């Protein structure tokens, strides 16, 4: 139902909650345009018997909350089934699998240099070079597709990536013979080559998924974002788990398993490109904006969201470098992969349900809340001194990062919905990789064993900056969606 307030009601008094009010019922979800189109909230259904709190026992409270969650998510589950049916089972599985090479290559670089050189510093800089090069490739995605076509782009990058990984295997053998046998410049260029040739399935699959659901309601878009974010973030725990299994059971103490996993997935992508191209992402909707749209003034909220995404990436990257220093202190690279799998797995498990229910939360309220939780969780990391406390800290930090990522992806998808230029969207999504590169480099610089706790101070600093940035986002959001705030009376 569309409600057009009269001119004198365009500015409505509010209670400071961030939700405008108008006669006729509560209003929410103000869209970014000049039409002031408001969508009326549908009334909530009456609670059933199992949703009413009849006593104060813990079991009854848990049962009540589970019943409420199951009822409130009924519509989202229906949207999720529709989205997965439109995607198809094969394409959904391939989307998850082809997210893994970026993470498995980064983890393999961590393990390779830490095993041969015993240096978090060198490993952090190598992963930063890899992540930065991959992010630049993501930025150039629409231009490369227009010049080469998606099928040819994925095919040629798969072949080149196999060659780049083979070169890195040779570097690993040379480091085994003599750690001084490889120049720093040659190794850095090899890391850049690996990053720039990593097949860019991820950005095209996500962009195709989101643009296909832009024309539907915000609830369905939020469900599509939850699925896309889960597929994107799940590459970290899946890659870590696969490398951990390979190192622990298939080839014990073998630092090259991550590279072999990437090569195997590159070969699988080649088969899909040449044998079953119908499963490739749909790029027909990835269009550039017209000249008139290019002159449109960009939204400051979108710019602040992008900066926040960089900070979240920096937090993740610095935690990875700190965990590598902790693993070197313990003398076990298998523990490094286990810690990464636990932390990132917690992040994915929390992000998925938060996005499903996040469309009813005020964006800047969610940012400030997630910022507070992230600061508190990051403060727990430097206090971890043994394996038991580090795993508790990782579960807590991963969960808070999942909340922050969920809110950011939801807000970004809504903001990018009104930007028809695919290049702007690809640039925005590449900023996460830039942030991870900066975090890996900063954490690697500070986190050489036995000073791994110094690297764990980086997430504390970044989380504080993220919380402070949330106040600026809240000001911009309220300036656009609420009334002009008057000074307090003396």
Please name each of the domains of the chain with its CATH number.
1-42 (no CATH), 89-288+296-481 (1.20.1250.20)
What are the CA-CA distances from residue 13 to residues 3, 8, 30, 362 (Å)? 17, 12, 15, 17
Q: Which residues pair with 38 in a beta bridge?
A: 3
> Residue 40 is inside which H or E element, if any?
strand 38-40
Residue 328's pLDDT is 86
168 within 8 A of 112, measured Cβ to Cβ: yes
Task: Give the end-to-end CA distance of the chain in Å, rounded to a whole number.
Answer: 42
**Helix axes 387-416 and 300-330, enclosed angle (nearest 10):** 160
* Contacts (Cβ under 8 Å, ≥6 apart) of 360: 28
Running DSSP on this structure, what letter comes out for residue 299? Answer: P
Q: Which residues pair with 39 in a beta bridge?
A: 2, 28
Residue 19's pLDDT is 38
Q: DSSP of 451-462, one letter per residue?
A: -HHHHHHHHHHH
Q: Per the structure block, which two tokens stand in for 271?
A: 């088969």
Give the Cα separation of 165 and 179 in Å (integer): 19
Q: Per the structure block, which two tokens stand in for 252?
A: 């014990």
Per-residue pLDDT of the chain (490 residues; tens, 9 = 90+): 444 444 444 444 444 444 333 333 333 333 334 333 334 445 555 555 555 555 566 677 666 666 666 666 677 778 788 888 888 888 888 888 998 999 999 999 999 888 888 888 888 999 999 999 999 998 888 888 888 888 999 999 999 999 999 999 998 888 888 777 778 888 889 999 999 999 988 888 887 887 777 777 767 777 787 788 788 888 889 999 998 888 777 666 577 888 999 999 999 999 999 998 888 887 766 655 444 444 444 578 888 888 999 999 999 999 999 999 888 888 778 888 899 999 999 998 888 777 766 555 667 788 888 899 999 999 999 888 788 889 999 999 999 999 888 888 778 777 776 665 566 677 877 888 899 999 999 988 887 766 788 889 999 999 999 999 999 988 888 877 665 555 545 4
223 within 8 A of 353, measured Cβ to Cβ: no
Q: Which residues pair with 27 in a beta bridge?
A: 40
* Contacts (Cβ under 8 Å, ≥6 apart) of 488: none
Residue 47's pLDDT is 56
Rounded to 5, what percent of the chain is helix, strand, coil?
Answer: 75, 0, 25
Smallest CA-to-CA distance from 242 within 229, 232, 251 is with 251
Give the Cα separation of 144 and 167 in Å (integer): 24
* Contacts (Cβ under 8 Å, ≥6 apart) of 79: 219, 220, 223, 224
Phi (first) and psi of residue 297, to 5 degrees:
-70, 125
Question: Angle at the Cα of 392 (from 386 to 397), degrees rounded to 5?
Answer: 115
Give the Cα separation of 235 and 98 in Å (integer): 8
Residue 291's pLDDT is 45
Give the Cα separation of 486 and 289 in Å (integer): 38
Give the Cα separation of 482 and 19 in Å (integer): 7
Give the Cα separation of 279 and 204 in Å (integer): 12
450: preceding bond cis by omega (within 30 degrees): yes
Give the Cα separation of 316 and 459 in Å (integer): 8
* Contacts (Cβ under 8 Å, ≥6 apart) of 143: 423
Residue 230's pLDDT is 80
223 within 8 A of 337, measured Cβ to Cβ: no
- Say whether 411 sits in a helix, a strand or coil: helix
> Residue 22 is inside which H or E element, if any?
strand 21-22
Residue 206's pLDDT is 81
Phi (first) and psi of residue 252, to 5 degrees:
-55, 135
Q: DSSP of 86-109, one letter per residue?
A: HH-HHHHHHHHHTTHHHHHHHHHH
Q: Which residues pair with 21 in a beta bridge?
A: 26
């Amino acid at each position: 139902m569309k409600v057009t307030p009269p001119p004198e009601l365009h500015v409505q008094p509010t209670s400071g909650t961030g939700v405008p009010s108008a006669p006729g019922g509560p209003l929410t979800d103000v869209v970014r345009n000049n039409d002031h189109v408001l969508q009326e909230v549908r009334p909530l259904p009456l609670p059933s018997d199992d949703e009413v709190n009849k006593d104060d026992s813990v079991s009854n409270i848990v049962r009540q909350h589970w019943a409420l969650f199951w009822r409130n998510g009924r519509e989202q589950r229906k949207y999720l089934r529709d989205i997965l049916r439109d995607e198809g089972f094969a394409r959904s599985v391939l989307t998850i699998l082809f997210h893994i090479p970026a993470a498995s290559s980064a983890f393999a670089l961590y393990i390779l240099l830490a095993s041969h050189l015993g240096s978090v510093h060198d490993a952090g800089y190598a992963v930063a070079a890899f992540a930065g090069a991959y992010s630049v490739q993501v930025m150039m995605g629409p231009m490369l597709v227009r010049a080469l076509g998606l099928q040819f782009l994925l095919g040629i990058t798969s072949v080149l990536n196999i060659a780049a990984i083979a070169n890195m295997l040779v570097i690993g053998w040379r480091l085994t013979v003599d750690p001084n046998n490889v120049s720093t410049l040659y190794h850095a260029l090899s890391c850049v080559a690996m990053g720039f040739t990593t097949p860019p399935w991820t950005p095209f699959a996500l962009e195709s998924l989101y643009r296909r659901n832009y024309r539907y309601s915000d609830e369905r878009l939020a469900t599509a974002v939850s699925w896309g974010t889960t597929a994107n973030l799940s590459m970290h725990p899946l890659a870590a788990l696969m490398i951990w299994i390979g190192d622990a059971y298939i080839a014990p103490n073998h630092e090259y398993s991550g590279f072999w996993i990437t090569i195997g997935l590159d070969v699988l992508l080649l088969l899909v490109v040449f044998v079953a191209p119908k499963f490739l992402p749909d790029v027909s909707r990835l269009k550039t904006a017209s000249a008139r749209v290019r002159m449109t003034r960009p939204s400051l909220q979108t710019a602040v969201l992008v900066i926040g995404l960089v900070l979240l990436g920096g937090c993740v990257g610095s935690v990875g470098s700190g965990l590598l220093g902790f693993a070197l202190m313990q003398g076990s690279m298998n523990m490094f992969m286990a810690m990464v799998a636990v932390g990132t797995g917690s992040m994915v498990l929390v992000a998925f349900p938060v996005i499903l229910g996040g469309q009813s939360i005020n964006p800047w309220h969610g940012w400030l809340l997630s910022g507070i939780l992230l600061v508190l969780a990051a403060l727990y990391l430097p206090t971890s001194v043994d394996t038991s406390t580090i795993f508790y800290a990782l579960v807590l930090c991963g969960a808070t990062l999942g909340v922050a990522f969920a809110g950011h992806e939801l807000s970004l998808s809504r903001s990018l919905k009104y930007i028809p230029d695919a290049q702007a969207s690809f640039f925005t999504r590449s900023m996460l990789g830039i942030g991870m590169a900066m975090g890996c480099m900063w954490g690697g610089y500070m986190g050489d064993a036995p000073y791994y706790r110094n690297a764990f101070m980086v997430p504390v600093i970044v989380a504080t900056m993220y919380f402070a940035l949330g106040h600026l986002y809240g000001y911009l959001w309220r300036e656009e969606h609420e009334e002009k705030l008057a000074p307090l009376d003396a």
